Structure 1
Amino acid sequence: MSSVSLKQAVPNERKHQRRAAVMTGNGLISAVGYLSLQTKDLTGVIRNATDVLGLYETDTTSKKSYLAAQAAHHEIIYSAGDHDAVDHIGLVAKDSEALGIIREKVSRAKYRVIAEQPLDEAVGQGFAFVGPEGFTWQVYTEAASYSLVKNGGFGPDRFGHVNIQVIDTIAQRDFLVEVLGFRVSDRIGHDQAFFLRCNNDHHGIAVFKSSRAVLHHHAWQTQSIVDLGRLGDRLARRGSRLAWGPVRHGAGDNIAAYYVEPTGAVIELYTDLEMIFDPEREARLWAEDDLYWINQWDGQVPPGILDHGIPPLQR
């Protein structure tokens, strides 16, 4: 993306909240619970997750590592594999009734169910299916823990959201809204991008238009912009660099910093995300060439930053 002159700033609707996501409205999903990735370099990604990002291992085997930022069994899972790929994305259903409704919607839409039981340990009732463009979703009823109890040391407070790139953003948006009950918070152009929420967080899933289907980044909430600077320091001491940021986005208003993990996916550390407490809050529409939506401060996007990502596992 090239630099474009910024247009007049829209009013800042940010609410300064440093609290865990809470369900709002009558949605079916209460949280984006966790992410499961396969990797060719399990040792490298664990070292990155613990030494750079600041997660801690809650359970591990020779082929799998469960990690979290808070008092939870896992918020991300890394498994050894032949390819770097997205295994599945875990979504917490509001309750067992919501789980049943989603299961019925998945059947009516004829998505392929690959498991009638959870794919992972420490997950309650649930099922997994393959959605649009090959992404696998696991929906389950176990409540997410947002105690924000840290294990000491540094690191984020909790897992926040994912950003996926797809060929057909309209179809992906419709799937997330109609099958899973998400709401659109911000829309970029006609179909360039959608930011969708399932609770008070401005977005739990962002969908960007691309020529391929990939997970671009997974994002983790922290307390302060100071933590973003310290992330940059840790990377520099290891001979690496931030890929972008700190930057303040327009859609979501969060301040964020990005770097590339060993899988090839991007990790975002962010703070100050907009919280939405009105379930009927209408989506904001941004012109695609008004780069205030992606960078409030200077409208710049580093060359190549959107080219990173890893594909969904082929099933």
Structure 2
Amino acid sequence: MSWGLISEMGYIGIQTTNIEASVWDATQLLGLRETNRADGTVYLSASDVHHELVYVESDVDGVDTFGLVARDGYALRAIRRRVEDEGFQIISERPRGLGIEDGFTFVGPENFVFEIYIGMQQNQASFKSFGPDRYGHLNFHPKDVTGMMKFLHRVLDFRLSDVIGDDFAYFMRCNPDHHGIALVKGQGTLHHHAWETQSIADLGKLGDRLHKAGRELIWGPVRHGAGHNVAAYYVETSGAVVELYTDLEQIYDDNRDPIIWGQDENWWNMWSSYRPEDFRKHGIMPVVREPKNLLR
């Protein structure tokens, strides 16, 4: 169910200097499956679509693309007009990679790149092993957090679910999921991409896999106040954080007023006031690929 022009979160694209290590993390730690690879790009998925995570081989580690699914062809064209009216640079008039029927890509505020699309190919998993059910949301830290919030609302029809402090953080939704995009004021980085699983037990199994690999959780499990999800976090090879979560709040009242939290009120963990001091220091910067290098 979606009231606006964007119906769901689509995929996260990341540039990585060690693509095989990144793919290993995604398949052996998180539990995604590889669906395709071509020209230095690897596509991975948790659900029955062509991709929900894309790694692009690069000489830098950084954010490549935020992929968002338009409700239909009309919505795709409407967003295209809004992007033009706002004066944002369109860097591709057609899908940049494999598995997508139609779409366009533009450079949004603070150099974050968005691909708006429809018609992703299905890719049915032959069987279900461990791993999440789907890609759920992302969290990034723009310098102008209120400006980014207004852009997501004005151009892409996202709505506010929770507001944290004054010009500090916003949780925004495009469908009943409490948030598809969370914004926290910061240094212009992607902090984490998040994946929905069925049970809190899966978070424990993730911790076990990390331990066997000589890695560790950097926080969690925790029960967030904003969104109510139970979550655990680790750092992947690129430097981005990965969240595995369950039990996210669903909002079926399209006109529900946002919940307001004080910045120092405990919106981050209903089980404890503890937060790792370096948790928000992780993340990767956006990197804009030149049009001549885009997949055709």
Give the TM-score category using the shorter length. over 0.9
* Pairing 1:165-184 to 2, within 5 Å after superposition: 165-184=141-160
- Tell me the SS of whatever aligns to 1:142: strand
Once the two structures are aligned, what percentage of the paired residues are identical? Answer: 49
Structure 2 counterpart of 1:190, which letter? D
Q: CA deviation at 1:150?
A: 7.2
For 2:294, the equivalent position in structure 1 comes to none
Structure 1 counterpart of 2:7, which letter? S
CA contact (8 A) 1:31 1:144 kept: no
Matched, 1:307 2:285: no
Residue among 80, 87, 112 paired with 1:110: 87
Residues 127 and 94 (structure 1 numbering): CA distance in 2 closer, same or farther, change over 3 Å? same
CA contact (8 A) 2:138 2:194 kept: yes
* Superimposed CA distance per residue, residues 50-80 of structure 1 (whole angstroms, 9 cap, x where no aligned partner): 1100000001236221100111111001011
* Superimposed CA distance per residue, residues 247-291 of structure 1 (whole angstroms, 9 cap, x where no aligned partner): 000000000000000000000000000001111111111000102
Q: CA deviation at 1:151?
A: 3.2
CA distance in 2, matches of 1:120, 1:89: 13
CA contact (8 A) 1:92 1:144 kept: no
* Superimposed CA distance per residue, residues 296-315 of structure 1 (whole angstroms, 9 cap, x where no aligned partner): 11111111010000010035
Structure 1 runs of 4+ with >4 Å offset: 143-147
Matched, 1:234 2:212: no
Residue among 40, 43, 61 paired with 2:38: 61
* Pairing 1:78-227 to 2, within 5 Å after superposition: 78-142=55-119, 151-210=127-186, 212-227=187-202
- Tell me the SS of whatever aligns to 2:119: coil
* Pairing 1:6-45 to 2, within 5 Å after superposition: 23-25=1-3, 27-45=4-22
TM-score by length of 2: 0.95
Residues 225 and 83 (structure 1 numbering): CA distance in 2 closer, same or farther, change over 3 Å? same
For 1:294, the equivalent position in structure 2 comes to 268
* Pairing 1:242-257 to 2, within 5 Å after superposition: 242-257=217-232
Structure 1 counterpart of 2:211, which letter? A
Residues 146 and 223 (structure 1 numbering): CA distance in 2 closer, same or farther, change over 3 Å? farther
* Superimposed CA distance per residue, residues 163-188 of structure 1 (whole angstroms, 9 cap, x where no aligned partner): 01010011100100000000010000
TM-score by length of 1: 0.89
Structure with the bigger RCO (C-alpha within 8 Å, sep 6+) is: 1
For 2:293, the equivalent position in structure 1 comes to none
CA contact (8 A) 2:100 2:120 kept: no
For 1:276, the equivalent position in structure 2 comes to 251
Residues 143 and 314 (structure 1 numbering): CA distance in 2 closer, same or farther, change over 3 Å? closer
CA contact (8 A) 2:49 2:120 kept: no
